[in-house]
A and B are shown apart, each in its own frame.
With several copies, the nearest count.
Chain A
Amino acid sequence: EEQQLRFDRMIADEVRIEPRDWMPEGYRRTLIRQIAQHAHSEIIGMQPEGNWITRAPSLRRKAILMAKVQDEAGHGLYLYSAAETLGVDREELLDLLHQGKQKYSSIFNYPTLTWADMGAIGWLVDGAAIMNQVPLCRCSYGPYGRAMVRICKEESFHQRQGFEILHTLSHGTPAQKAMAQDAVDRFWWPSLMMFGPPDSASTHSAQSTAWGIKRFGNDELRQRFVDMTVPQADVLGLRIPDPDLRWDEATGHYAFGAIDWDELDRIIRGDGPCNAQRMERRRTAHEEGAWVRDSADAYARKHAAAATT
């Protein structure tokens, strides 16, 4: 119909779709799913780092880490609000998360075993996230695109802090340097998996690209990430745990080894080291907080009623 034509024209002209504009149901559903997954990832992603707040090795690092985890919660809220402009509400989305019907990024199913993991997450995981997210700043859906602009800026700050943690460790005592290398060894491959399966195996992509939601293929973004990160590892004095990694003059890119997609599959299926723990913590927080939210609602109703009578 006319609406569809108008929508298609806006997409073609790169005019942003806004909440009050008509949009096809598939577009709306795709966006809800993607924004919700992104929001869930921010919320669940607080856990691996939150795990070290009470143990941060200096007050300065403790403050930085607390601020970072808080940022993630803020980004989560922000994204849930963006999703709400599409006509769902946060409670529904959280329920879907808690029931396991919506996902979050698999990277957060790895445990944070040492302080250096705070560095590796900042440098590699946030680095990969930014690589994925920068193109979303141009997303056809206005509220999401604008949210991403601000989120990406803050994430860059986080990535810089992660890099700095690793830099300090790799230039510290031998034990600190070993800790940094160990963290990179554990987080390197999972970070590459964050770009998703190879394009040849990826679903959803074509339609998302047509709708101006997705701008680049998984493999292309992954390659960019590797190209950006390898020289940074040299600055850090840390080794990328890939014997096949080498500069390829012909392509002008780094070639890298085969990714263990079975591991990603296993984790997506729920058999990762922390899937159960992350979900349990989230559900427990939600359930144990029910009486708090209920009481706040009751108070609000009571006083709203009082104000109008």
Chain B
Amino acid sequence: ADPLVAYLVGLGDDALILAQRLGEWITRAPQIEEDIALGNIALDLLGQARVLLSHAGEVEGAGRDEDALAYLRDEREFRNVCLVEIPNGDFAVTMARQLVFSAYQYELWTALRNSTEPLLADLAAKAVKEVTYHRDHATQWVLRLGDGTDEGHRRMQAGLDRVWPYVAELFAADDVAAQLPGVAVDPPSLLAPWTAYVEDVVARATLTVPTPTWHSRGGRRGLHTEHLGHLLPEMQHLHRAHPGARW
């Protein structure tokens, strides 16, 4: 398989699955502003996913468009990291995941602005601006919850604890990226700046960086949590129920 296709699909799936999870929040958020904010972030991620998956389909050259990739692959063919597929939990869990992921994407897109693959570089230039907002949004909430009420603090710490086992996978060395020097970013190289940013936020929020006893692995190889198998039926059902239909 073409590593570029795999790389694009991996990044695209991250964005797609997280957009799907954030979409579940809409009409359930703690305040209307957050219905909007989470919807907005989801929309940005969906936009990234569409660009990445469309381009993956073009490079692959087998006639698959963004919808074929999003709706007609099975669980084992998805290449997202496990972090994005875990259930939303309460608002603190979602904000912990947002902090982790948006700070990761911030470093990722910043680095990919120099990708030798033009589409990635173009998308990165655009996405880094969007993700700056996402990261700021998550940062503000981690601060407000961590350094607000006792309940906020307790829940926010629990949120960090819940998502931290999924962090290491984001920065694990990746076969696919290794085959694409200049095009892709080496995930371990993003860890230091990510850590600097996130640890600062966690400290300012009077919270503790968790030290998890276990770590997710293998999302990029299609080894997911059991949660993805419940997300995909909901996402894909209608499309699959009408084979070949246009929408």
Contact = CB atoms under 8 A, between A and B. Distances in A.
A and B touch in the complex (CB under 8 A): yes
Interface of A: 43, 46-47, 50-51, 53-63, 66-67, 69-70, 73-74, 76-77, 80, 111-115, 165, 168-169, 172-173, 175-176, 182, 269-277, 281, 284-286, 288-300, 302
B199 to A, nearest CB: 20
6 contacts: A53-B24, A54-B24, A61-B247, A73-B39, A288-B30, A291-B151
Given A54-B20, A66-B23, A70-B36, A270 B213 contact: yes
**Which of B23, B75, B153: most chain A Cβ within 10 A?**
B23
B207 to A, nearest CB: 12
Interface in B232-247: 233-235, 237-239, 242, 244-247
**Which of B35, B43, B47, B213: most chain A Cβ within 10 A?**
B35
B163 to A, nearest CB: 12
B114 interface: no
A284 B27 CA distance: 10
Contacts of B215: 271
Interface in B140-179: 141, 143-145, 147-149, 151-153, 155, 165
A119 B27 CA distance: 20
A76 B32 CA distance: 8
A302 B43 contact: no
B33 interface: yes
B55 to A, nearest CB: 13
A173 B245 contact: yes
**Which of B26, B92, B151, B216: most chain A Cβ within 10 A?**
B26
Given A66-B23, A276-B214, A114 B75 contact: yes
A51 B229 contact: yes
Contact of B76 (A113, A172, A298): A113
B152 A62 contact: no
A295 B144 contact: yes
A205 to B, nearest CB: 28
B72 to A, nearest CB: 11
Contacts of B91: 289, 292
A43 B32 contact: yes
A273 B70 contact: no
A54 B235 contact: yes
Contacts of B23: 53-54, 62, 66
A59 B27 contact: no
A289 B24 contact: no
Nearest to A301: B148
A59 B226 contact: no
B74 interface: yes
Interface in B40-95: 40, 42-43, 46-47, 49-50, 53, 66-67, 70-71, 74-76, 90-92
Which 3 pairs between the two chains have the least Cβ-Cβ distance?
A289-B30, A295-B152, A295-B148
Contact of B30 (A112, A274, A285): A285
Nearest to A44: B27
B217 interface: yes
A176 B245 contact: yes
A55 B39 contact: no
A285 B29 contact: yes
B224 interface: yes
Contacts of A172: 245-247
B125 interface: no
Contact of B74 (A62, A74, A114, A302): A114
B223 interface: yes
A189 B129 CA distance: 46
B77 to A, nearest CB: 11
A154 to B, nearest CB: 14
A63 B46 contact: yes
B148 A47 contact: no
Contacts of A67: 39, 43
A270 B66 CA distance: 38
B126 interface: no
Nearest to A69: B26
A273 B36 CA distance: 27
Contacts of A115: 238, 247
Contacts of B30: 285-286, 288-290, 292-293
A285 B28 contact: yes
B42 A66 contact: yes
Contacts of B75: 113-114
Contact of A294 (B90, B149, B216): B149
B22 to A, nearest CB: 9
A27 B244 CA distance: 56
